[in-house]
Structure 1
Amino acid sequence: MTIKKAIPNDHKILTEITKKSKAHWGYSDEQIEIWSQFLTVSKEYIETKSVYNLIVEGKIIGYYSFFHESENTIKLDNLFVLPDFIGKGFGKILMNDFLDRMKNSNAQKVILNSEPNAEDFYIKFGFVKVGEMETSIKDRYLPIMELKINRIGEIENA
Protein backbone atom coordinates (compact mmCIF):
# COMPACT_ATOMS: atom_id res chain seq x y z
CA MET A 1 0.00 0.00 0.00
CA THR A 2 1.32 3.43 -0.96
CA ILE A 3 0.11 7.01 -1.16
CA LYS A 4 1.50 9.02 -4.03
CA LYS A 5 0.78 12.23 -5.87
CA ALA A 6 -1.82 11.88 -8.61
CA ILE A 7 -0.98 12.58 -12.23
CA PRO A 8 -3.39 14.23 -14.70
CA ASN A 9 -4.14 10.92 -16.44
CA ASP A 10 -5.64 9.62 -13.18
CA HIS A 11 -8.65 11.88 -13.72
CA LYS A 12 -11.00 9.16 -15.01
CA ILE A 13 -10.35 6.69 -12.19
CA LEU A 14 -10.62 9.46 -9.58
CA THR A 15 -13.96 10.57 -11.06
CA GLU A 16 -15.16 6.95 -10.96
CA ILE A 17 -14.07 6.58 -7.32
CA THR A 18 -15.84 9.84 -6.42
CA LYS A 19 -19.13 8.88 -8.06
CA LYS A 20 -19.15 5.31 -6.74
CA SER A 21 -18.25 6.45 -3.25
CA LYS A 22 -20.98 9.11 -3.27
CA ALA A 23 -23.53 6.57 -4.55
CA HIS A 24 -22.58 4.30 -1.63
CA TRP A 25 -24.65 6.59 0.62
CA GLY A 26 -27.87 5.69 -1.22
CA TYR A 27 -28.09 8.50 -3.75
CA SER A 28 -29.84 7.55 -6.98
CA ASP A 29 -28.10 7.33 -10.34
CA GLU A 30 -30.18 10.35 -11.36
CA GLN A 31 -28.90 12.38 -8.39
CA ILE A 32 -25.30 11.38 -9.10
CA GLU A 33 -25.81 12.55 -12.69
CA ILE A 34 -27.20 15.88 -11.48
CA TRP A 35 -24.08 16.29 -9.34
CA SER A 36 -21.77 15.07 -12.10
CA GLN A 37 -20.04 18.42 -12.62
CA PHE A 38 -19.20 18.55 -8.90
CA LEU A 39 -18.06 14.91 -8.79
CA THR A 40 -15.82 15.05 -11.86
CA VAL A 41 -12.08 15.26 -11.36
CA SER A 42 -10.46 16.90 -14.39
CA LYS A 43 -6.88 16.83 -15.58
CA GLU A 44 -6.73 20.56 -14.80
CA TYR A 45 -7.92 19.95 -11.25
CA ILE A 46 -5.09 17.47 -10.66
CA GLU A 47 -2.59 19.92 -12.17
CA THR A 48 -3.69 22.82 -9.94
CA LYS A 49 -4.61 21.13 -6.63
CA SER A 50 -2.74 18.76 -4.33
CA VAL A 51 -4.16 15.30 -5.08
CA TYR A 52 -2.88 12.06 -3.51
CA ASN A 53 -3.87 8.51 -4.45
CA LEU A 54 -4.08 5.49 -2.17
CA ILE A 55 -2.78 2.48 -4.09
CA VAL A 56 -3.37 -1.09 -2.92
CA GLU A 57 -1.98 -4.00 -4.92
CA GLY A 58 -1.31 -1.72 -7.87
CA LYS A 59 -4.87 -0.28 -7.95
CA ILE A 60 -6.00 3.22 -6.97
CA ILE A 61 -8.74 2.61 -4.38
CA GLY A 62 -9.07 6.10 -2.92
CA TYR A 63 -7.71 9.61 -2.87
CA TYR A 64 -7.81 12.99 -1.19
CA SER A 65 -7.28 16.49 -2.50
CA PHE A 66 -6.72 19.89 -0.96
CA PHE A 67 -5.76 23.46 -1.76
CA HIS A 68 -4.96 26.71 0.01
CA GLU A 69 -8.17 28.66 0.46
CA SER A 70 -6.15 31.47 2.04
CA GLU A 71 -2.63 31.90 3.38
CA ASN A 72 -3.41 30.07 6.63
CA THR A 73 -6.41 27.94 5.64
CA ILE A 74 -6.37 24.63 3.77
CA LYS A 75 -9.55 23.26 2.20
CA LEU A 76 -9.79 19.47 2.23
CA ASP A 77 -11.79 19.28 -0.98
CA ASN A 78 -12.19 15.52 -1.44
CA LEU A 79 -11.56 12.30 0.44
CA PHE A 80 -13.08 9.26 -1.24
CA VAL A 81 -12.59 5.49 -1.12
CA LEU A 82 -14.19 2.88 -3.39
CA PRO A 83 -17.26 1.34 -1.70
CA ASP A 84 -15.65 -2.11 -1.35
CA PHE A 85 -12.99 -0.49 0.86
CA ILE A 86 -15.25 1.76 2.98
CA GLY A 87 -15.25 0.80 6.66
CA LYS A 88 -11.93 -1.06 6.43
CA GLY A 89 -9.59 1.69 7.67
CA PHE A 90 -8.53 3.10 4.30
CA GLY A 91 -10.25 6.44 4.88
CA LYS A 92 -8.35 6.69 8.15
CA ILE A 93 -5.09 5.99 6.32
CA LEU A 94 -5.84 8.78 3.84
CA MET A 95 -6.86 11.21 6.59
CA ASN A 96 -3.75 10.49 8.66
CA ASP A 97 -1.55 11.07 5.61
CA PHE A 98 -3.33 14.37 4.94
CA LEU A 99 -3.00 15.49 8.57
CA ASP A 100 0.72 14.62 8.55
CA ARG A 101 1.12 16.91 5.55
CA MET A 102 -0.72 19.67 7.42
CA LYS A 103 1.65 19.37 10.39
CA ASN A 104 4.47 20.26 8.00
CA SER A 105 2.64 23.21 6.45
CA ASN A 106 1.99 26.79 7.53
CA ALA A 107 -1.73 26.12 7.81
CA GLN A 108 -3.50 27.23 10.97
CA LYS A 109 -6.75 25.49 10.13
CA VAL A 110 -8.34 23.00 7.78
CA ILE A 111 -11.89 23.42 6.54
CA LEU A 112 -14.17 21.07 4.60
CA ASN A 113 -17.74 20.58 3.49
CA SER A 114 -18.69 17.10 4.66
CA GLU A 115 -21.01 14.58 3.11
CA PRO A 116 -23.69 14.41 5.85
CA ASN A 117 -23.15 10.65 6.19
CA ALA A 118 -19.40 11.19 6.77
CA GLU A 119 -19.66 13.87 9.48
CA ASP A 120 -18.86 11.41 12.29
CA PHE A 121 -15.75 10.26 10.41
CA TYR A 122 -14.35 13.79 10.51
CA ILE A 123 -15.36 14.32 14.13
CA LYS A 124 -13.15 11.35 15.07
CA PHE A 125 -10.18 13.35 13.78
CA GLY A 126 -11.04 16.43 15.82
CA PHE A 127 -13.05 18.39 13.25
CA VAL A 128 -15.95 20.41 14.62
CA LYS A 129 -19.04 21.56 12.80
CA VAL A 130 -18.99 25.34 12.38
CA GLY A 131 -21.92 25.77 10.00
CA GLU A 132 -24.08 24.27 7.27
CA MET A 133 -24.44 24.78 3.55
CA GLU A 134 -27.76 24.16 1.82
CA THR A 135 -27.64 21.75 -1.12
CA SER A 136 -29.75 21.24 -4.21
CA ILE A 137 -31.73 18.52 -2.40
CA LYS A 138 -34.58 19.91 -0.29
CA ASP A 139 -33.81 19.77 3.45
CA ARG A 140 -30.27 18.44 2.86
CA TYR A 141 -27.36 20.40 4.29
CA LEU A 142 -23.61 19.83 4.13
CA PRO A 143 -21.86 20.26 7.47
CA ILE A 144 -19.08 22.86 7.25
CA MET A 145 -16.28 21.57 9.46
CA GLU A 146 -13.03 22.96 10.79
CA LEU A 147 -9.87 21.69 12.45
CA LYS A 148 -7.39 24.07 14.06
CA ILE A 149 -3.66 23.42 13.83
CA ASN A 150 -1.42 25.17 16.32
CA ARG A 151 1.90 26.86 15.49
CA ILE A 152 4.11 23.88 16.34
CA GLY A 153 2.18 21.70 13.94
CA GLU A 154 0.09 19.73 16.37
CA ILE A 155 -3.55 19.08 15.60
CA GLU A 156 -5.87 20.64 18.17
CA ASN A 157 -9.45 19.92 19.08
CA ALA A 158 -11.32 23.15 18.48
Structure 2
Amino acid sequence: MAPLAIATPGKPDIRLRPARPGEAQALSALCLRSKAHWGYDAAFMAAVEPYLKVTDDAISSGHATVAEAVDGTPLGVCQIDPEGHGGSLDLLFIDPEAIGRGAGRLLFEHAKAQLKALGLPVMTILSDPYAEPAYLHMGARRVEMRSSEVFPGRELPWLEVVLR
Protein backbone atom coordinates (compact mmCIF):
# COMPACT_ATOMS: atom_id res chain seq x y z
CA MET A 1 0.00 0.00 0.00
CA ALA A 2 1.42 3.37 -0.98
CA PRO A 3 1.22 6.12 1.64
CA LEU A 4 -2.01 8.05 1.46
CA ALA A 5 -1.92 11.78 2.14
CA ILE A 6 -5.17 12.49 3.92
CA ALA A 7 -5.83 15.97 5.23
CA THR A 8 -7.85 16.48 8.39
CA PRO A 9 -9.62 19.89 8.27
CA GLY A 10 -7.87 22.39 10.53
CA LYS A 11 -5.24 19.82 11.52
CA PRO A 12 -1.87 18.74 10.12
CA ASP A 13 -1.95 16.15 7.36
CA ILE A 14 -2.00 12.53 8.42
CA ARG A 15 -0.77 9.72 6.19
CA LEU A 16 -1.49 6.02 6.42
CA ARG A 17 1.19 3.54 5.48
CA PRO A 18 1.98 -0.11 6.07
CA ALA A 19 4.04 -0.81 9.18
CA ARG A 20 7.63 -1.56 8.22
CA PRO A 21 9.88 -4.45 9.22
CA GLY A 22 11.83 -3.48 12.32
CA GLU A 23 9.07 -1.22 13.72
CA ALA A 24 7.24 -3.78 15.85
CA GLN A 25 8.93 -2.80 19.11
CA ALA A 26 8.44 0.96 18.65
CA LEU A 27 4.81 0.50 17.60
CA SER A 28 4.16 -1.81 20.55
CA ALA A 29 5.60 0.90 22.83
CA LEU A 30 3.12 3.36 21.27
CA CYS A 31 0.30 0.92 22.16
CA LEU A 32 1.49 0.82 25.79
CA ARG A 33 1.72 4.63 26.02
CA SER A 34 -1.79 4.90 24.66
CA LYS A 35 -3.21 2.34 27.09
CA ALA A 36 -1.41 3.97 30.04
CA HIS A 37 -3.04 7.28 29.11
CA TRP A 38 -6.24 6.03 30.78
CA GLY A 39 -4.56 5.91 34.20
CA TYR A 40 -4.02 2.18 34.57
CA ASP A 41 -1.47 1.29 37.25
CA ALA A 42 1.89 -0.43 36.68
CA ALA A 43 0.60 -3.89 37.67
CA PHE A 44 -2.27 -3.64 35.18
CA MET A 45 0.07 -2.45 32.42
CA ALA A 46 2.53 -5.29 33.08
CA ALA A 47 -0.30 -7.82 32.85
CA VAL A 48 -1.66 -6.50 29.54
CA GLU A 49 1.69 -5.80 27.86
CA PRO A 50 1.86 -9.22 26.13
CA TYR A 51 -1.51 -8.50 24.47
CA LEU A 52 -0.50 -5.08 23.13
CA LYS A 53 2.12 -6.16 20.64
CA VAL A 54 2.35 -5.27 16.99
CA THR A 55 3.69 -8.50 15.54
CA ASP A 56 6.27 -9.12 12.85
CA ASP A 57 3.76 -11.49 11.20
CA ALA A 58 1.13 -8.74 10.99
CA ILE A 59 3.72 -6.40 9.53
CA SER A 60 4.94 -8.87 6.91
CA SER A 61 1.38 -9.80 5.91
CA GLY A 62 0.30 -6.15 5.53
CA HIS A 63 -2.08 -6.32 8.48
CA ALA A 64 -0.45 -3.55 10.53
CA THR A 65 -0.94 0.07 9.49
CA VAL A 66 0.61 3.26 10.84
CA ALA A 67 -0.92 6.73 10.87
CA GLU A 68 1.85 9.30 10.77
CA ALA A 69 2.31 13.04 10.63
CA VAL A 70 3.80 14.56 7.48
CA ASP A 71 7.20 14.62 9.22
CA GLY A 72 7.01 10.83 9.72
CA THR A 73 6.13 10.87 13.43
CA PRO A 74 3.90 7.87 14.20
CA LEU A 75 0.54 9.03 15.56
CA GLY A 76 -1.17 5.67 15.82
CA VAL A 77 -1.25 2.06 14.73
CA CYS A 78 -3.83 -0.61 14.00
CA GLN A 79 -3.49 -4.34 13.47
CA ILE A 80 -6.11 -6.63 12.01
CA ASP A 81 -6.48 -10.40 12.19
CA PRO A 82 -8.55 -11.71 9.27
CA GLU A 83 -8.65 -15.14 10.93
CA GLY A 84 -9.77 -13.89 14.36
CA HIS A 85 -13.49 -14.15 15.16
CA GLY A 86 -14.44 -13.73 11.51
CA GLY A 87 -12.14 -10.72 11.17
CA SER A 88 -10.97 -8.71 14.11
CA LEU A 89 -9.48 -5.35 14.85
CA ASP A 90 -6.80 -6.60 17.24
CA LEU A 91 -5.14 -3.28 18.00
CA LEU A 92 -5.96 0.35 17.44
CA PHE A 93 -3.95 2.76 19.55
CA ILE A 94 -3.25 6.46 19.21
CA ASP A 95 -0.32 8.24 20.80
CA PRO A 96 -1.75 10.31 23.68
CA GLU A 97 -0.40 13.52 22.10
CA ALA A 98 -2.36 12.77 18.91
CA ILE A 99 -5.76 11.87 20.39
CA GLY A 100 -8.48 13.91 18.74
CA ARG A 101 -6.52 14.70 15.56
CA GLY A 102 -8.33 12.17 13.34
CA ALA A 103 -5.78 9.37 13.21
CA GLY A 104 -8.07 6.94 15.03
CA ARG A 105 -10.92 7.37 12.58
CA LEU A 106 -8.56 6.98 9.60
CA LEU A 107 -7.11 3.76 11.03
CA PHE A 108 -10.56 2.43 11.93
CA GLU A 109 -11.91 3.06 8.42
CA HIS A 110 -8.78 1.54 6.89
CA ALA A 111 -9.14 -1.62 9.02
CA LYS A 112 -12.77 -1.91 7.89
CA ALA A 113 -11.75 -1.54 4.25
CA GLN A 114 -8.99 -4.16 4.59
CA LEU A 115 -11.31 -6.74 6.13
CA LYS A 116 -14.09 -5.98 3.64
CA ALA A 117 -11.64 -6.40 0.74
CA LEU A 118 -10.87 -9.86 2.12
CA GLY A 119 -14.57 -10.71 1.82
CA LEU A 120 -15.36 -10.61 5.52
CA PRO A 121 -18.85 -9.41 6.49
CA VAL A 122 -18.09 -8.21 10.04
CA MET A 123 -15.22 -6.64 11.97
CA THR A 124 -15.13 -7.64 15.64
CA ILE A 125 -13.49 -5.70 18.46
CA LEU A 126 -12.80 -6.72 22.05
CA SER A 127 -12.68 -3.17 23.39
CA ASP A 128 -11.20 -1.47 26.39
CA PRO A 129 -14.08 0.16 28.29
CA TYR A 130 -12.48 3.60 27.79
CA ALA A 131 -12.27 3.07 24.01
CA GLU A 132 -15.83 1.81 23.59
CA PRO A 133 -17.43 5.28 23.20
CA ALA A 134 -15.08 6.10 20.31
CA TYR A 135 -15.88 2.82 18.56
CA LEU A 136 -19.62 3.34 19.06
CA HIS A 137 -19.27 6.86 17.64
CA MET A 138 -17.59 5.38 14.55
CA GLY A 139 -20.41 2.91 13.96
CA ALA A 140 -19.65 -0.17 16.03
CA ARG A 141 -22.38 -1.72 18.15
CA ARG A 142 -22.03 -3.62 21.40
CA VAL A 143 -22.97 -7.27 21.04
CA GLU A 144 -22.26 -8.35 24.61
CA MET A 145 -19.87 -8.11 27.52
CA ARG A 146 -17.13 -10.75 27.68
CA SER A 147 -14.93 -11.88 30.52
CA SER A 148 -11.35 -10.69 30.42
CA GLU A 149 -8.77 -13.43 29.88
CA VAL A 150 -6.29 -11.43 31.96
CA PHE A 151 -8.33 -10.21 34.94
CA PRO A 152 -10.97 -12.52 36.44
CA GLY A 153 -14.18 -10.61 37.09
CA ARG A 154 -13.41 -7.83 34.61
CA GLU A 155 -15.87 -7.47 31.74
CA LEU A 156 -14.96 -6.05 28.33
CA PRO A 157 -17.26 -4.81 25.57
CA TRP A 158 -17.47 -7.10 22.54
CA LEU A 159 -18.29 -4.95 19.51
CA GLU A 160 -19.12 -5.58 15.88
CA VAL A 161 -19.12 -3.46 12.75
CA VAL A 162 -21.02 -4.68 9.72
CA LEU A 163 -18.84 -4.25 6.64
CA ARG A 164 -20.94 -3.03 3.72
Superposition TM-score tier, normalisation by shorter sequence: 0.7 to 0.9
Is 1:75 the equivalent of 2:88?
yes
Q: CA contact under 8 A between 1:65 and 1:77: conserved in structure 2? A: yes
- Name 2:9's counterpart in structure 1: none
Runs of 5+ consecutive residues of structure 2 not aligned to the other structure: 1-13
Shift of 1:88: 2.5
Shift of 1:81: 0.6
The 1:139–1:12 alpha-carbon spacing in structure 2 relative to 1, beyond 3 Å, is: same
2:128 alignment partner, one of 115, 123, 132: 115
Greater mean deviation of Cα atoms: 86-95 or 53-62: 86-95
1:8 alignment partner, one of 8, 15, 21: 21
The 1:62–1:44 alpha-carbon spacing in structure 2 relative to 1, beyond 3 Å, is: same
Greater mean deviation of Cα atoms: 105-114 or 138-147: 138-147
- Name 2:74's counterpart in structure 1: 60
Runs of 5+ consecutive residues of structure 1 not aligned to the other structure: none
Q: CA contact under 8 A between 2:90 and 2:125: conserved in structure 1? A: yes
Query: What is the DSSP-based 3-state SS (H/G/I as helix, E as strand, rest coil) of the residue aligned with 1:132?
Result: strand
In 1, Cα distance between the equivalents of 2:44 and 2:51? 12
Amino acid at match of 1:79: L
Query: What is the DSSP-based 3-state SS (H/G/I as helix, E as strand, rest coil) of the residue aligned with 1:69?
Result: coil
- Name 1:97's counterpart in structure 2: 110
Aligned Cα RMSD in Å?
Answer: 2.0
Query: What is the DSSP-based 3-state SS (H/G/I as helix, E as strand, rest coil) of the residue aligned with 2:142?
Result: strand
Greater mean deviation of Cα atoms: 97-106 or 50-59: 97-106
Deviation digits for residues 86-113 of structure 1, max 9, x if unmatched? Answer: 1222211211222333443411111110
1:23 alignment partner, one of 36, 40, 57: 36
Amino acid at match of 1:58: G
Q: What fraction of aligned residue pairs are identical, expressed as a percent?
A: 26
Query: What is the DSSP-based 3-state SS (H/G/I as helix, E as strand, rest coil) of the residue aligned with 1:35?
Result: helix
Deviation digits for residues 120-155 of structure 1, max 9, x if unmatched? Answer: 111112211112222233542111111122xxxx3x
Q: Give me the TM-score of the superposition, normalised by structure 1.
A: 0.83
Q: CA contact under 8 A between 2:16 and 2:67: conserved in structure 1? A: yes
Q: Give me the TM-score of the superposition, normalised by structure 2.
A: 0.80
* Superposition misfits of 4+ residues, deviation over 4 angstroms: none
